[in-house]
Every structure is written in structure tokens, then in C-alpha cells.
Structure 1
């Protein structure tokens, strides 16, 4: 096809040709010569009838139609000559005048198209059928020199809107906002949870229509089935929520209203060591006891502890308890401090008493711990400034720090001694004993601990401790001509004897030659005579400075301090008189 039309000659382009323009609203783009979409379709149809009533014919080529050429010449001779200014026009021949011409004319004459169908807004619905190009002269009455499209939809390129990959054609303005189609109801699965087979979700199937939508029902296909796996999971979740809620509700009601489980009696013959850590609550204690098999439930123990007036005074430590005890029996045993599986080193307690307590608690033969202490003294963690005097009775004296020590199944004499020495060393380092020795006029830190042990042995309280330390420092002075630098403390004599007697013979004491006997020797003993506590240590480092030289306890409870020897003698006489009355003399 050339740019002048179809065939070798110049043929007009008829408006009814599908390539001429948009024949109503069909979604095709407007072609050259097309009427606007807003025009009246009835008006367009009337224009098509005008083309049928007054068609303009183009002369065919002579070599194609020789008979028609002769008839045309005869017809031109019979017509009058027109002025040269007017273009020459031809009238159609009369019927029957040129038979062959009439046959050709009928072949080119367009036929009236079938009446198109319009919607309520005047738009062509495309349901009307038009004659094909073989029946209609699509090129009559059109300027042959006007530029035309290169191809048409009927005989040229295919309609792109008809391909499966194409988008649906656009709708007229009046039909662009249609109501959405009602959603189709999904059908139930055919066979329970796994009707779709293999647990595959029906929504995962591809849409065979190719319109890019998912989750819908394919054209002509069966309705998709809901996944059995999804239903099963939903059922499991619902059952879990309901079951869990029921379980917790039952647990709450049981704990709220039911009686706590408890054993009866004092327990079985089987015993167990239970350690209660520091700062443990009653609930934590009950949980530990339940795990060890002592009580039946935490609730029973906490209830019994709250009912007992001393239930909240249970101390931390190790308790030797029986299994399957009633909660009340367990609480009654634990409120008794003596039932604790512990060793308590009191302030001023001598090492000999500590060794005996360890042997008893660990079930060792008498003297076991003392032998370990004397044999392993250098390996138990003493400070470098301690244990160097060969005159020491016990190198560990003064280094078994007073506090409570919990025992366990793994406790040994050596482990306990190491722990006690460490506590003492840490405390002395905290107080700065080593640095303050010279400030107090002492030779070494060991003498500071020795003074503290004497103060702790002779005094009754913290106020006594401060005045007692002042007495020690004043008697140690070289200017002391009253006692000649002798301390004359009864506690040192008792330490040698292993006793704690108040009434003993001063004459015997002054005659005993021993490094620890301050009635016999000048100055301090070689080492401490006990394990001083925190109050005695603090008082030793901060004496009273009242000038005290003497002291005596007349009634055995209150200690009286004096600065002169005369005042002291009066108090001594009063004390002896009391002692005679007490002994019936």
C-alpha cells in the first residue's frame, strides 16, 4: 500500500474505513479526520448517509476500464461547455445508460452500515456491525493527497487490545466509576484440614488469567480451598491460650484458697546441712529448704515463719536439719542461734577456745586444730610484720578475727583458720595499724594489736576501752616511776594460766617469771593475749588522753579510773572489803 491509498491508483479514503478514525468509543486512539468523542453519534451517522447520496467518484485508469472511458467521452461531448473559471464536474450516468459502468459503480458504491447501538449517555457500545472493506468503498470522497496511516486494523497490524498481555481498553467517562463486583464467597474445604493436599495454601496458586491479581478465583476454575495447616495452627493457638489461662487460673485459685502442702512431725532420721545466705527473704529460705527436702512447700514455711513471733529473726548460716520436717518444726529450730552450724569468735576470745570450738563442730579429736595452727602458722596468711618474735606462745593469737563463720561439708580446720586470719589482716589494713604504730610510741604494728588485746580483756565497753588504752600508754612511758613501766594487768597472768580468775594471789603473780606476766616484766608481752574486736582496736588507735594511770572494778560491773596511786589504793581497799563480804569472811 502506498501513501496515496490501496492499489496502483489514487483512491480516496472513505470515513467508514476502520483506519480512517474512531467509529464510536472502542478504546482506539483518534486518527486523522476523526470527529471528537464529544460529538453526537446521530450526526455522524447522518454524515455517512450524505456520502452515500452524493458520492464523488474518481476517474479510473483507461487501461483498466476501456468501455468506461469511451462512455465518458461521449457523455462529455453531450454536455455544454462550462466557463473556464469553474471546475469541471461530472454527473452520475442514468440508470441503464452504461450497463458496464453501472456494474463497476455498484462495486464501488458504499452500502449503508447497520444501525449502531448506543448507551444511555450517547456513547457507541461497539455492538453495531459494519460492513467489511470488501463491501464498502472505504476511499470515496476523501482527499487522495491527504496523509493517511500506513496500516489499518482489519488488513494491517493486529489490534493490540486483543492480546492476552494487553491492559483492558479504557472506558468512556460515564462508565469509569463502576460499582465493585460483589466478593465471591469461599467454599468450605472438601475434606477437613488437608483438603487442598499437602498442606499447601490455596492462595499461593498463580492466577491463570494473567491479570496480575492474586488471592482471587481464576476464571472458570474451582474455588480455592483454605489451607488445612493454617486452620490447624489456629486451633493449636486457641487451645494453648484457653489451656494456659485455665492452668494459671487453677494455680491462682489453689494458691489463694487451698491449704499449703506440709509434712507432719519433727522429720525423718536423715539429716542435711542447709546454708541460708545473707539477706535472704523468707520465700528464698523456703525455696532452699524445699529443694533440700526439709519442708514440703514454700507456702507452708512462710506461713509458719509469719505466725511465729521470732520467725523473721532467722539468721543466715548453716543449719543441720532433718528431712521431711513440718514447717513449724523447721522454723522453731532455725530461730535458735545455737542450732546454727557455725563458729562464732567473740571479741577478746583466746585462740585456745577457738581451736576447741572448731574441733567440736567438725567432729575432730581434741587438739587437732591447735596442731594445724602451730605447724602451719607461716602458711595461713599472716602479715609480714606478725609471727616473728620467738617468745610468742601462739603466732596466730590476735589474728583469728572475731565474727561468725559458717561451716559446710567442705570445711576443714585449715580452711577456717585461713579465713579467720584473712579477716583480721584485712581489718588491720583498713584501720592503718601499720602506719600508726610510731605515732602511738610503739615499736611495730604487732604491739598495736597487743595493746588492743589487753584493752579488750580488761575493759567492759567502748568508753572503758579508750580510758584503758590511755592507762597502757601512760604506764609504758619512761617517766613512769609509780609502776616502773610495769603494766601489772591481771589478764596477762590469767593468759599464762589459761584461766579467767579475778581473785588470785598478787604475791604469786609478781613472783612468776614469764615473758607474758606483766606483774613480773616491764612493758608489753611478746604478743596479743586474745583476739581484739573492732571497738577495742578503734579505742587503741584513739585513746582518751585523760591522764589515767589506775583502774579497778569495785562491783565487778563498773570500772573506775584514777590518776594517782593514793586514789587507787582507796578503791583497792573498797574492792577487797566487798570480796570478803561476798565470800562470807
Structure 2
């Protein structure tokens, strides 16, 4: 039993409905046999309690519209039936108690057509379901209009808008007899798919949509009023997805924190016995070196190598080149190996180095038998890229001497003696062409470009720096002059005698050297040797092309460090005596 005056059974209602309760249903139809209010006087008393009359302004407006419609309908009926009167029920405002037993003063015309049924109302104003046929009456503008249908707003001046015409409004209230939900039997109920998010249908709970029923209920319910069921498999999938996201995020966070603040991954020890060639390109930074080493399997991480190289005082002096390195070695061991230039898998041709030492280095690096590269050089000299003006002297000892340009040459698993020799000759030829020695040979009083290289090799062998080189070249040019009556156009460089002997001895017997006959022995023959006695570098070459012009004829290094130059033979003899006295003291003589 409700406190709104309905019967003993519960009526469906919505607490947010602005017209909940039966605030009077003037002229509304009911289902046959139903009474809008119970017989209990106490219920009727509560039904008219003022505090429940008009809880919302919309309700009063709605009742006003309904009453106006009733008055117009009564006026039409009274015009048709003047003697018929309605009795107002004092207990229920807006309800007609019934009809007075009045009849029309004039009977209907026999030719009048019987018109649609007129509802018969009971003692409380509700339709009894019985109908009677009435004579044709003047056209009723409200005939056939459902009294419960929504009336257009704005029918009277000052009338407010009808709040039931908007999309968001609740449906108009139904008569009490129509408020009972007709529940479908289980076999008649349509199976409604679960449109919840995890079941894969719809866009979640139907929170903002109506279910289409008379009660206008909302909030994710199915048509039968039961809560929507969640699929267990959908929940399991959702849980797996959530765990995956959380786990992936946790792993990413752990990896980030470890990389940011933890120690970099590193191997231990000197590595395995397996060697790999690691090539470090020119201008590579520590980070790039670390990535190359990691890709080759030498170190565990690039960051570990960067840290080790930064901690080592010589870590930033690592040179580009090819390094044979063990796999899986610690970053510190890798840095220690790479800062040692002897560990590079390279061949470095130094300025002034003789070809004999270059050949031996190639054989050793490539694991070839001793003499292999020398035999190839002498046999295949013409096919190794020498310029046309090289190697033409019949007494030349080595056609490639002076053409193995000083530089560092990286070796790889594909390197061969031939490939290395060709690379060295190509570098020398390019440098000579760059300096323009062919065009400058005549200006220097030389016969051909080969003699320019020969002078540069002599200067490189005797001098110690660029200033020495320029003075040395001046000495050579002055001794080659035909007016030289001091040395009689003999160069008299000890380096030529040592070249023949394959030595670098500073203390040898000058008398024996002068008696030794050889085309390369400048103590014995006039002029330049047939070819270079070494491979001159850039400093020696530029000094040869730009001599000092100081008139120097003699030089001697008294202390083995500094070279002193003189213009006269007497000055030279004094320096020679000083040098010999120093040598005797050094040897304990």
C-alpha cells in the first residue's frame, strides 16, 4: 500500500518523474474494472494531502491544460445535450462524479446518421468500457483526440512551454490503469545481446538511453528489467590486457631506470680466443666506437665502453683503423687494447722509411713467408701503378723505392701484398701530382721528376725537422753545381752508404766508404744516386721544392740532436773535430 492513495498492489513509478503520483486525472480513461483509488477512506484522505498536490510547476501547468480541454469538451457536449449536467466531485477536484439523468429536449432526426460511440463514465468519472451511439452532433474539434495525448504548448497567452516535447524529457504520464508493465513470458521475451563494453557490443552501459518501456526506466537494464550479464571470457580477456599493460609498463620503467642509473652491462676478462676485425672509421666518437664493438660481439654494451674510455686518461686517443679483437671482452680490456697503436691491424709507413722495412711489415701482418712482398714488388713493379717517369734508370735498386707513400694502411681479411702496394703507389703518385714536381724539376736544376723525389729522400734521411729539410736541400743543390770545387759535385751523404749496406750506422770509416764503389755511394760517385733511398714525407717534399737559399755547403750533428750548417769547409772541419771528440768520450776512448 502506497501513501499516494493507490490500491494495495505496488504501482511502477519513477522517482525522478516530475508528475509521479496521481495528482488528479480529470477526464482520463481507465481500464475496465479498475478504480483509480482504493476504497479506504484513509487512502483518499492522503490522496488529497496538499503537500503532494503540485510538487513541481510542470504538473500544475499540465493539469491546467487538461482541465481547459475538459471544459471545452463539456461545452460541446452541453450544446448537444442541453439538459445533461456534470456533477463535480468535491473530494476529487477535476473529476466528474457522473451525469445527471437529464435528456435532450429534442429527439434526434430519423435521418440523422448514428455517429461514433460516446464513452459512458462511471460514478467517479472513469470510462466503464461501455459505449452508446449518439446522434450526429455538430463537429467536435476535439473528437477523436486522445485526452492523454500531449497538447501543443502555447495555446493560451502566458502559457509556459510544454516540457514533454523535448528529446531529453520523460514520456507523458499514463493513466493509472496503463502503468502496469506487461511482462513477457520467458518464451516470448526476445533475447537481447549483451551490449556491454567487454562483451564487444555497444559503447558500454546504456546509461543515457531509454529502454522504451512505459515506465521510462534507465541505467543499463535490459528490456526485462534484469541487470545485464557480463561475459566471463570478456572479463578474463580484460584482465589479461590490463596485466599486459601493467607488466609492459613495469618492464619499460625498469629498463629505463636501469639504463639511466644502473651500471651498464659488461663482460669480464680478456675475451675468448675467437678474434674479429673491428674497423673504426675516421672521426668516430666514443659512442660510435662502442656501438661498432657491441655489434661485433666484442663488448656487452656501448655504454660500458664509453664509461671505460672516459675513465682511461688515454681513452680519447684511440685512432681509427682495424683492430683484431677477441669477442666478449670487458670494456676496460677493449680500451686498453685500442689505445696501444701496435695492436692495430695496420701497416704504418713512416716518413723516410725504406721499402725493405715496408715489405717485411706486410709479410708479417699478412702472415706471408719472408721475402714474398719484395719479390712481388721487383717482379710486378710496372703493373702496380707507377708513373711513366719512374723506374727508368738502369741501375736503380728498387723501382718502388720512394713510391710507397708514408701513411697508415688498414688491413682486412681481403688484404694482399699486391693490394697494399698498389694503394701505397697510388697515394704517392697523387701527392707528387698535387705538388707539381714534373713542372718544377727543371726550375730546380734537376733532370726529371724522379730526381726531385731522390733529393727529398736524401733530405728526409739526414734532417730532423722542416727547417733542417730546407737547409739540407740547399746543401744538395749547391753541391750539385758544376762550380763546386770543394766536394767536386759529390753529395757525400752517409745515408747513401748506409742504404747500400742496409744499416743506419753513424760511425763508419770514411776512408773505406770513399773506396767503396757503388752507384748509390755518394762518397764515391758524383751527383745523385739512381733513385730514392727512402719514402719522403710531405715536409721533405715541400722543403725540396722550396730550399733555404742560405748558401749552405756543409752540416754536422755534434750531439746527435741538433744539426749545424756551415758555408765553408774550414768551419765544417772544426765541427767535425768536435763531433769526433764527443764520440770518443761517449765510447770511453
TM-score, normalised via structure 2 length? 0.63
Structure 1 residue 275: deviation in Å? 2.5
* CA separation of 1:181 and 1:339: change in aligned 2, threshold 3 A: same
Structure number having the greater strand percentage: 2
Structure 1: distance between partners of 2:283 and 2:166: 74
Q: Deviations over 1:401-445 (max 9, x none)?
A: 111112222221111111111111121122222222222222221
Corresponding residue to 1:122 among 155, 158, 162: 155
Q: Counterpart of 1:436?
A: 440
Aligned to 1:565: 569
Aligned mate of 1:479, from 480, 483, 498:
483
Show the counterpart of 1:358: 362
Contact 1:348 1:531 in 2 (8 A): yes
Shift of 1:454: 0.5
Q: Give CA-to-partner distance per residue, 1:439-475, whole Å, 9 cap, x none.
A: 2222221111111101000101111001111111122
Distance of 1:515 and 1:113 partners within structure 2:
147
What is the match of residue 520 of structure 1?
524
Paired residue for 1:299?
A: 303
Deviations 1:374-418 (A, max 9, x none): 111111111222122222110100011111112222221111111
Alpha-carbon distance in structure 1 between the residues aligned to 2:444 and 2:525: 21
Q: Which runs of 5+ in 1 are unaligned?
A: 1-47, 49-101, 125-172, 202-219
**Would you say how many aligned residue pairs link Structure 1 and Structure 2?**
440
Could you say what secondary structure the match of 1:561 adopts?
Answer: strand
1:490 aligns with 2:516: no
- Counterpart CA distance in 2 for 1:443 and 1:489 is 20
Of 129, 132, 139, 1:113 maps to 139
Q: Which residue of 2 aligns with 1:276?
A: 280
- CA gap 1:428/1:182 in 2 versus in 1, 3 angstroms: farther
Could you say which residue in structure 2 is the equivalent of 1:157? none
The answer to whether residue 168 in structure 2 is matched with residue 181 in structure 1 is: yes
Give the equivalent residue in structure 1 for 2:389: 385
Corresponding residue to 2:514 among 473, 493, 510: 510
Per-residue Cα deviation, 1:323-363 (whole angstroms, up to 9, x for no partner): 33233222222222222222111110000011111111222
TM-score with structure 1 setting the length: 0.63
Mapped to 2, the partners of 1:391 and 1:233 lie a distance apart of: 91
Secondary structure of 1:395's aligned partner: coil
The answer to whether structure 1 residue 288 and structure 2 residue 292 are counterparts is: yes
CA distance in 2, matches of 1:390, 1:305: 54
In structure 1, the residue matched to 2:4 is: none
Q: C-alpha offsets along residues 12-34 of structure 1, whole Å, 9 cap, x if unaligned?
A: xxxxxxxxxxxxxxxxxxxxxxx
Q: In 2, distance between residues paired with 1:342 and 1:119?
A: 100
Write out aligned runs for 1:141-220 (5 A).
Answer: 179-181=166-168, 189=194, 193=198
Aligned residue for 1:524, secondary structure, equals coil
Partner secondary structure for residue 294 of structure 1: coil
Match of 1:448 in 2: 452
Cα distance between partner residues in 1 of 2:141 and 2:337: 114
CA contact (8 A) 1:467 1:544 kept: yes
1:204-283 equivalence runs, <5 A? 244-283=248-287
1:120–1:376 CA distance, 2 compared to 1 (3 A): closer
Q: In the alignment, is the contact (CA less than 8 A) between 1:193 and 1:232 conserved in 2?
A: no
Moved more, 496-505 or 282-291: 282-291
Q: Distance in 2 between matches of 1:279 and 1:344?
A: 18
CA drift at 1:265: 2.7
Is the 8 Å Cα contact of residues 380 and 417 (structure 1) preserved in structure 2? yes
In structure 2, do the counterparts of structure 1 residues 552 and 233 end up closer, same or farther at CA, with 3 Å as the change threshold?
A: farther
Contact 2:152 2:162 in 1 (8 A): no
Inter-partner Cα distance in structure 2 for 1:406 and 1:183 = 88
CA gap 1:576/1:244 in 2 versus in 1, 3 angstroms: same
Q: 2:552 aligns with which of 521, 539, 548?
A: 548
Deviation at 1:301, TM superposition (A): 2.6
